């Protein structure tokens, strides 16, 4: 279990609904997928790299909505910039992406 954090630290996170509009394996990596994600009018389309390639194929994600952290500092991985993070549960030693099953628009804030 991780240490407790102040509520103010949690409030710093910008969690949004995003729609994966493109996905591909990252050349030279067995773990990374490059996701092209529409995060709505405020954030636009971003590239997000995620270490989920062992559990998901690109076609399984395209056209679907998930929850993303949008205000992480950009990070360079495998020569590409990642501009956010997809939220996953760690279950049975696997990454499990939590889908957004309702017709919630891209960019909607998660509280």
pLDDT band at 18 (very low <50, low <70, confident <90, very high): very high
Query: Which run of H or of E encompasses 41?
Result: helix 40-43
pLDDT score of 64: 98
pLDDT band at 76 (very low <50, low <70, confident <90, very high): very high
Q: What is the mean pLDDT of residues 74-88?
A: 97
pLDDT score of 88: 98
Contact 52, 95 (CB under 8 A): yes
| DSSP reduced 3-state for 19 | strand
* Residue 66 token pair: 């998930």
7-110: CATH class? mainly beta
Which residue's entry shows tokens 């399984």? 60
Q: What is the mean pLDDT of residues 49-70?
A: 98
Q: Domain limits of the chain?
A: 7-110
Q: Which phi and psi angles does 31 have, rounded to 5°?
A: -105, -30
Residues 38, 97: Cα–Cα separation, whole Å: 17
């Amino acid at each position: 279990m991780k240490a407790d954090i102040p509520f103010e630290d949690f409030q710093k996170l910008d969690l949004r609904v995003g729609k994966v509009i493109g996905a591909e394996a990252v050349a030279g990596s067995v773990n990374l997928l490059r996701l092209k994600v529409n995060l709505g009018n405020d954030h636009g389309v971003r590239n997000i790299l995620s270490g989920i390639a062992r559990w998901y194929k690109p076609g399984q994600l395209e056209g679907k909505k998930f929850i993303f952290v949008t205000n992480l500092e950009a990070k360079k991985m495998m020569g590409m910039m990642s501009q956010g993070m997809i939220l996953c549960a760690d279950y049975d030693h696997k990454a499990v992406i939590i889908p957004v099953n309702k017709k919630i628009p891209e960019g909607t804030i998660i509280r």
